[in-house]
Amino acid sequence: MKVSKTKLIAKLLKTNQHKKISLGLSRTRKALKYINWQKKTKSRILTCNGTSAKFSILYLIKKILIENNNTYAATFSPHIFKISERIEVNSKNISISKLKNILNKIYKIPVRLTEFEMLCLAFAEFIKSKNIQYTIGEFGLLGRKDALRALFPSPDVHIVSPILFDHLQWLKNQKGNLKTLKEIVYEKTSFLRAKKIYVSKQHTHSLRFIQHYLKNKNSFYYGRDFWLKRKKGKYFYQDKKHNFEIRSNLLGDFMYENAVLAIKVAIDEGIPLSIIKRSLTNITIPGRMQEIKSGKLRKFLPNSTLIFADGAHNSLSSKSVCTALLNKYKNKDLYAIISMISSKDPSSFLKPFKKFKKVFFVNMKQSNVYPKETLFKISKKLNIRSTISENCNEAIKSISDKRNAVFLVTGSFYYLQEII
């Protein structure tokens, strides 16, 4: 029986997997020597870490670079549809065949690696001979011990996205776990050696710790060096030299907060304002407030019904998404269809859905998920109007007046993989 290349890639990643994930850079640094990786490059290095909004910020920067005719290579995580989305050069994902060949080469390196480490090495191997102007890297769950740091220890630009409590099962101190926000901020910022550091809008407590760890570094902060101005339903980018309207189809204050950071970076990179403005007019960010205009989810919906997909899975992202929809569609009935993996905090995630007309809980195919019955019980304690449904399509079909409905599918990127 012929096995697909995608399945062969999954097998390679699983077979070489370091069974006990002991976080650190030693394995990646050792493995990089086998592919002759050179840290010094003519390409400008731009990296980003934090808890949420990493991909959205980098995606917006990427769109500006494309509009400016810059060449680039990027590595993102996680992927939504195909693992080849993890590596991208000039708007094209790496081919499955090429990725398989590179992973076969990495598999022969006598170092046991995690899946993320293998994909970081694959990115390094793929781009090391390419002549590109920008290299973009999205950190994984970590910071100080993230494999991407081994590739790019001193980037030209580093972005700190919002930091909060999430992925705590991987963020551990010497005693075995992280219990304070200060410890989390330390893990994600204390190591930074970038020439320029840009800090997104942060919770007050996170910001205080970030400023502590970034003192005496060349840093630019949302709210101090650049900011978003809202006036009569319009959004404006402002800094000490600029003040202009952001004309875009982005949805929600939080998306425009991401946009002003991307704009600030682009301005400092010397990209003309006319190009920056033009690049943001029509944006679709995969899996982030993405309007679904075709496919199986629209099978039971009239053309006038809106449906959005967002991989939100923590309290900050769910609050941002819910607020955006509630403000935009005040005269519509809002429905959410939710499934979550078991490492997340469902109580804090679900609280913002109290104002939705109804929330449907479903099961996805992943093994490490909250049963829909568990999520339903939690929602009832939070006084959320909710029910259990067999699947996403059944939830949609159960709504009688679909013409006045807005649907949100959310809770996990894994679930988006199944239903989009």
Distance from C-alpha of 173 to C-alpha of 177, rounded to nearest angstrom: 5
SS3 357: coil
Sign of CA dihedral 293, 295, 301, 303: positive
- pLDDT, tens digit, 9 for 90 and up, residues 88-126: 999 999 999 999 999 999 999 999 898 899 999 999 999
> In this predicted structure, what is the pLDDT of residue 2?
46
Residue 53 contacts residue 145 (beta carbons within 8 Å):
no
User: Which residue type sits at 317?
Assistant: S
DSSP assigned state of 367? S
Long-range contacts of 3-9 (CB under 8 A, 24+ apart): 5/96, 5/97, 5/100, 6/82, 6/83, 6/96, 8/100, 9/83, 9/96, 9/99, 9/100, 9/103
Distance from C-alpha of 77 to C-alpha of 58, rounded to nearest angstrom: 11
Token pair for 29: 């640094």
Sign of CA dihedral 283, 284, 289, 291: positive
- pLDDT, tens digit, 9 for 90 and up, residues 34-83: 999 987 678 999 999 999 999 999 999 999 999 999 999 999 988 888 99
The tally of CA atoms less than 13 A away on the side-chain side of residue 114 is: 19
Distance from C-alpha of 417 to C-alpha of 132, rounded to nearest angstrom: 31
Just give the CATH number of 5-279: 3.40.1190.10
> In this predicted structure, what is the pLDDT of residue 110?
93
SS3 383: coil
User: 290-419: which CATH topology?
Assistant: Protein-Tyrosine Phosphatase; Chain A (3.90.190)
Residue by residue, pLDDT tens for the chain (420 residues) are 444 667 667 766 766 655 556 678 999 999 999 999 987 678 999 999 999 999 999 999 999 999 999 999 999 988 888 999 999 999 999 999 999 999 999 999 999 898 899 999 999 999 998 999 999 999 987 789 999 999 999 999 999 999 987 544 445 555 555 568 898 899 899 999 999 999 999 999 999 999 999 988 899 999 999 999 999 989 999 999 999 999 999 999 999 999 999 999 999 999 999 999 999 999 999 999 999 998 888 877 888 899 999 999 888 899 999 999 999 999 999 999 999 998 888 999 999 999 999 999 999 988 889 999 999 999 999 999 999 999 999 999 999 888 899 999 999 998 898 887
Token pair for 116: 């993320």
User: Which residue type sits at 14?
Assistant: K
Domain ranges of the chain: 5-279, 290-419
- pLDDT, tens digit, 9 for 90 and up, residues 219-231: 999 999 999 999 9
| pTM for the structure as a whole | 0.93
- Would you call the peptide bond into 78 cis, given omega within 30 degrees of 0 as the criterion? yes
Q: Which residues pair with 245 in a beta bridge?
A: 236
DSSP assigned state of 402? G
